Amino acid sequence: MLESAEVAVWPAPEGKEEPAMLVLSDAGIEVAGVARDAAELLELARAEAPDVVVADIRMPPANTDDGLRAALQTRRDRPEISIMILSQYVNRQYATELLAEGSSGVGYLLKQRIANAENFCSALRQVAEGGTVLDPEVVSVMLARARREDDAIESLTPRQSEVLGLIAEGRSNAAIARTLVISEKAVVQHVSHIYGQLGLPPSGDDHRRVLAVVQYLSHAESAAAG
């Protein structure tokens, strides 16, 4: 059973469980504990050593990026703990910082994704297994910025851009084929062309290829910012 330390961040009437906690419990995911602020999150992670820490970017005490800082510190203290970051809005800077070290076992989703419990819990398990999951809106923003600054991405066909975006979200070839209603063979061909166009080394490992693509987009982000 997947064990998860979950951070309660949505105000709720006294005596009622937080939405995310209910989603996890209903899916059979054990909640190791609930932290009310960044300091509690760090203590909880050290004490329980969960598979995944789920944190909101904005947590007390400052309600700015305390949750992100606590999650990143948790990874520095315990690299084996995966982290899932939730955010109200897309923030390219936070996404880039989260992925800067190229670590596996990280996710960044908008809070609204929790409404689809099945997909949210699937993403959480993927992160727990060392995968990388990015919200479609985060990927869309990163791709748009990179496309303006990177000729290699600009030269991709619309279909190849779709495939690239789905890879960055953490999708497998089979999942991409289902989403785009094409064969897996066609997906493999698109992926091969994308990797050749971007100068990325081929990899049959889903986690490694996601990291390679995300790192490429992050570097394009950094170059654009510079």
Q: Which residues contact 29 (CB under 8 A, 6 or more apart)?
A: 1, 2, 3, 4, 121, 124, 125
pLDDT digits (tens, 9 = 90+) for 21-35: 677 777 778 777 778
Task: Record the pTM.
Answer: 0.78
d(CA 90, CA 95): 8
C-alpha distances in Å from residue 98, one per residue of 83, 180, 194, 226: 10, 28, 24, 18
Contact 194, 160 (CB under 8 A): yes
Q: How confident is the model at residue 148 (pLDDT cuts 50, 70, 90)?
A: confident
d(CA 132, CA 34): 23
- Report pLDDT for 33: 78
Q: How confident is the model at residue 152 (pLDDT cuts 50, 70, 90)?
A: confident
pLDDT digits (tens, 9 = 90+) for 95-138: 778 877 656 788 999 988 888 888 888 888 888 888 888 899 98
Domains of the chain are 3-134 (3.40.50.2300), 138-225 (3.40.50.2300)
The phi, psi pair for 151, rounded to 5°, reads -65, -30
d(CA 166, CA 176): 6
> Which of 89-93, 135-139, 166-170 has the weakest average pLDDT?
89-93
